[in-house]
Structure 1
Amino acid sequence: MTDATPWTRDIPPIQGLGLMRLKDDGWGDSDRDPAVLVRTAVDAGVTLLDTAEMYGNEALVGRALGSHRDQVTLCSKFGVYWGESGRFDGWSVRADPHTVHTAIDGTLERLGVDHLDVYYLHHRSEETPIEETVAAMAELKQAGKIRHLGLSNVTVDDIRRAHAIHPIAVVQQQWSLAHREAESFLPTLAELDIALIAHSPLGHGSLTGSDDTPLVHSLARIASNRGMTTGQIALAWVHHRGNDAAATVVPLPGTSSISHLRANIDAAQLVLDSSEIEQLDAGSQIVP
């Protein structure tokens, strides 16, 4: 089964917007109003919006999206569930066909839409073979509930096995100066024409200046010379490496702040020179 339509509405966006931290208490706040955040992103061309059932804010994302639905590539994820008492007693993965079919209906209802552009398996399952999960996700596509299939937090072997059942459009993995494991995925993704959505490009905040490491010192030095923040330099590095990759790469920084969103957009336009790239690569202590 093939799909000739692109996974985005036009060309891949230069950057996505992760909405994990979007909260209801932001309404009316000049820097955190959810609807203004989405409108600012869309106006700037950041049209890939990412959430998940696990985040507990799909209804809020739907309200923030408002009339912009047809202007964005809307993505959500299923399969990861908190324990009964919340986040403090761990989480589990459910990726069986029944969960696939029930989860999508809840997601669509909460978002207030009739389909998703990309639906991800949020995390690989140790219990359900990925072939069974993907076969059920393909049924959602046949029913018109999703346009494209995605995987997150998986292995290269998972990707190949899944893709043999139904074409996978995108894979979401963490990629930053602090976590470069996703680079080993790139040859397979390029071979199979799968895009990489690089989440947490700021290393979950570890690259924004709070950690006292040689890498952060390098970031701070370059940022000072450029008149930028360390986070912007870290994000610009992911854009640089993504542009050099054979596979399509879309960085996905997450924020609920309009000012941070604008800073991230500025970082996407920053071109690092070879000396700066060498310093950052050396500081990451991982050979590409």
Structure 2
Amino acid sequence: MTVATWTSDTAPLQGLGLMRLTDDGWGDDDRDPARLVRAAVDAGVSVLDTAEMYGNEEVVGRALGGCRQDVTLCSKFGVYWGPSGRMDDWSVRADPATVRSAIDGSLRRLGVDHLDLYYLHHRSEETPIEETVAAMAELHRAGKIGALGLSNVTLDDIRRAHAVHPIAAVQLEWSLAQRSVETLLPTLADLGIALVAYSPLGHGSLTHSAGNPLGQALADIAAREGATRGQIALAWVHHRARRVAGAVVPLPGTTSITHLHANIAAARIELSGSDVAALEDAARQLGDR
């Protein structure tokens, strides 16, 4: 499915992050990977997002089954784990040779002949982004990818990359707990680049009350709406996304069909102006601590 034409009017309402999808769920009513993908497609969630770094592209490929034509399939390259196994032991490789080898590996593992959207997973301190994007553009011309994306990059990176080849989407964190991306939104809109907002639940930190002002504000609104704290946090991202000039696709991640449906329902929650003000004021208090 095409990505290059995403606008504020045509962008998907929401995507599905598959970082934690594993083989463990097969046969489980709530966590079977194929059932999860089918449930997402049936509910209108068509953007499926994974990455080479996640180590689960083969699982995603098997989960796709007959749904390939119904989804916008996205993956990322460039971040590689170190030998220690620690979460802080990773490095970035974004040179042209890595670009060419990484896409072939992802296509093989996913069992597809092309990706709809292919991201550089993280900016490189060693390879100029112009070289990386030029190599990605070769993949586009070869029909291996439909559109180019960037993740975890700076405003300067975005401008320089877009000058080499149109960038369709930039994936950055956006949540009540992390709002720095908002300074980039005018530029993304000007360039016609969609924002794919990952971790809209603050890496899970917003799904439970932590005894702080933001947790309490989320809990209070959730109780009144008959929702969960996570749904209110996600509803805030949807609320803000509807009020910016460019295209925004929130990307909550889950391996549970139950949580998938809860996330979809969150997009329909209408927050009042006073709700939004209370949440943002509580987030600022938390940040001031």
> Match for residue 31 of structure 1?
30
Q: CA deviation at 1:12?
A: 1.8
Match of 1:268 in 2: 267
Map of 1:154 onto structure 2 = 153
1:76-134 CA-partner distances (Å, limit 9, x unpaired): 00000000233456000000000000000000000000000000000000000000000
Note if contact 1:7-1:118 (Cα within 8 Å) is conserved in structure 2: no
Alignment of 1:72-221 (within 5 A): 72-88=71-87, 90-221=89-220
* Whole-angstrom CA distance in 1 between matches of 2:99 and 2:86: 22
Instruction: For residue 251 of structure 1, give the secondary structure of its aligned residue in structure 2.
Output: strand
How many percent identity over aligned positions? 70
Matched letter for residue 229 of structure 1 = T
- Report the 3-state secondary structure (helix = DSSP H, G, I; strand = E; otherwise coil) of the residue aligned with 1:81: strand
Instruction: Return the TM-score normalized by structure 2.
Output: 0.95
Give the corresponding residue for 2:67: 68
Q: Which runs of 4+ in 1 moved over 4 A?
A: none
**Native 8 Å contact 2:3 2:116 kept in 1:** no
Equivalent residue, structure 2, for 1:258: 257
Is residue 16 of structure 1 aligned with residue 18 of structure 2? no
Distance 2:78 2:100 in 1: 11
State the Cα deviation string for residues 231-259 of structure 1 (Å, max 9, x = none).
00000000000000111001000000110
Q: Is residue 281 from structure 1 mapped to residue 280 from structure 2 by the alignment?
A: yes
- Partner letter of residue 260 of structure 1? H
**Conserved 8 A contact 2:122-2:150:** yes
TM-score normalised by structure 1 residue count: 0.96
Q: Does residue 1:56 correspond to 2:75, yes or no?
A: no
Unmatched runs of 5 consecutive residues or more in structure 2: none
With 117-126 and 268-277 compared, the bigger mean Cα shift is at: 268-277
Check the 8 A contact 2:209/2:216 in 1, yes or no: no
Q: Distance in 2 between matches of 1:53 and 1:86?
A: 16
1:239 alignment counterpart: 238
Q: Distance between the aligned counterparts of 1:122 and 1:71, measured in 2?
A: 24
Distance in 2 between the 1:261 and 1:203 partners?
17
Determine the C-alpha separation between the residues in 2 that align with 1:15 and 1:4: 14
Distance 1:25 1:125 in 2: 33
Partner of 1:43: 42
Task: Tell me the amino acid that sits aligned with residue 236 of structure 1.
Answer: A
The one-letter amino acid of 2:275's match is E
Contact 1:7 1:148 in 2 (8 A): no
Structure 1's 178 and 89: CA in aligned 2 closer, same or farther, altered over 3 A? closer
Task: Determine if contact 1:197/1:249 at 8 Å carries over to the other structure.
Answer: yes
Q: Note the residue ranges of structure 1 that are not aligned, 5 or more in a row.
A: none
Check conservation: 1:174, 1:200, Cα contact below 8 A.
yes
For the residues of structure 2 that align with 1:4 and 1:178, how far apart are their CA atoms? 28
Distance in 1 of aligned mates of 2:275 and 2:149 = 33
Alpha carbons of 1:4 and 1:43: their partners in 2 closer, same or farther (altered >3 Å)? closer
Q: Secondary structure at the match of 1:275?
A: helix
Contact 2:30-2:257 within 8 A present in 1 as well:
yes
Contact 1:219–1:233 (CA under 8 A) maintained in structure 2 = yes
Q: CA–CA distance in 2 between the matches of 1:115 and 1:253?
A: 24
Cα distance in structure 2, aligned partners of 1:176 and 1:7 = 21
- Count residues in correspondence: 284
Deviation, 1:181, is 0.7
Amino acid at match of 2:60: V
Deviation at 1:30, TM superposition (A): 1.1
